């Protein structure tokens, strides 16, 4: 039996992500959420969409980074049936148009988008009154942090209602995640926190604990430091120290 990861945990960082997404939805605003890899941004976005009406999540990739490819991806996610490219933007906009408590479009892996695609998302906010959240890595934040990028960037910066930017995981988040795995050995906990602070955060801990849990089950033991260290070495990521 393969050990299962903990279900969604409302860590402090997850709470901040949910609050930022809620702000975008209720105020029909444009927000940016940038977290380092493995800090749970995608899981928080999925949880938000699963628990809130009129919230939609689309994930972009290097293959869907330009305007038209992004619109096709959005149409699929929003279940918009429109085969005329000239009418696609309007059809998506009408689906997103503010209703009741507002609508929210979350774009995950937003660092992949070209500038024109981000401008198209701003258009949805301005014309159709929906909230839009760009979620991704630090590159997204960096593109709007500089003040020397020209008129289009200045226009986009003015539209950003709120930003959440975390480059390092919080120790309390790592501790909560390790606790959810049921690890109580203090040496194992300390080792896992060190792993999480290296980069990859909760993701590194999760992958290591899946392997450590299998080693522990094979010996009918609770997870201890030896299992964790062996799992890390078997993953061959980097040295623990």
Measured CA to CA, the distance from residue 65 to residue 73 in angstroms comes to 10
Predicted local confidence at residue 132, as pLDDT: 96
Give the whole-angstrom CA distance, residue 133 versus residue 57.
Answer: 9
Q: Report the pLDDT value the prediction gives residue 241, as an integer from 0 to 100.
A: 46
> CB-based contacts of 210: which residues, under 8 Å, 6+ apart?
2, 3, 5
Q: Looking at residue 6, what is its pLDDT? A: 86
Q: What's the pLDDT score for residue 37?
A: 85
**Which residues in the chain show pLDDT less than 70?**
1, 100, 144-157, 238-241
pTM of the model: 0.87
Per-residue pLDDT, 139: 80
Distance of alpha carbon 82 from alpha carbon 219, whole angstroms: 57
User: What is d(CA 20, CA 133) in angstroms, rounded to the nearest whole number?
Assistant: 9
State whether residue 84 is helix, strand or coil. coil
- Per-residue model confidence (pLDDT) at position 4: 85
Q: How far is CA 187 from CA 38, 228, 237, in A?
A: 22, 10, 20
Alpha-carbon gap, residue 112 to 14, rounded angstroms: 23
């Amino acid at each position: 039996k393969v050990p299962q990861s903990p279900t969604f945990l409302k860590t402090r960082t997850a709470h901040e992500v949910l609050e930022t997404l809620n702000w975008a939805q209720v105020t029909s605003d444009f927000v940016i959420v940038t977290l380092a890899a493995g800090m749970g941004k995608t899981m928080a976005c999925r949880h938000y969409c699963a628990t809130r009406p009129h919230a939609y999540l689309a994930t972009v990739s290097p293959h869907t980074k330009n305007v038209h490819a992004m619109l096709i991806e959005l149409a699929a996610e929003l279940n918009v049936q429109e085969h005329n490219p000239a009418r696609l933007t309007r059809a998506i906009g009408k689906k997103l148009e503010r209703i009741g408590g507002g609508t929210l479009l979350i774009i995950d892996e937003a660092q992949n988008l070209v500038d024109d695609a981000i401008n198209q998302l701003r258009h949805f906010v301005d014309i159709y009154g929906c909230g839009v959240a760009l979620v991704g890595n630090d590159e997204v934040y960096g593109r709007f942090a500089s003040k020397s990028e020209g008129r289009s960037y200045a226009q986009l910066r003015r539209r950003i209602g709120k930003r959440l930017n975390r480059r390092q995981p919080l120790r309390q988040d790592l501790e909560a995640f390790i606790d959810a795995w049921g690890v109580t050995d203090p040496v194992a906990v300390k080792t896992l926190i060190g792993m999480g602070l290296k980069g990859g955060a909760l993701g590194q801990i999760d992958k290591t604990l899946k392997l450590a849990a299998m080693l522990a089950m094979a010996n009918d033991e609770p997870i201890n430091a030896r299992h964790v260290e062996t799992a890390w070495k078997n993953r061959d990521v980097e040295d623990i120290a």
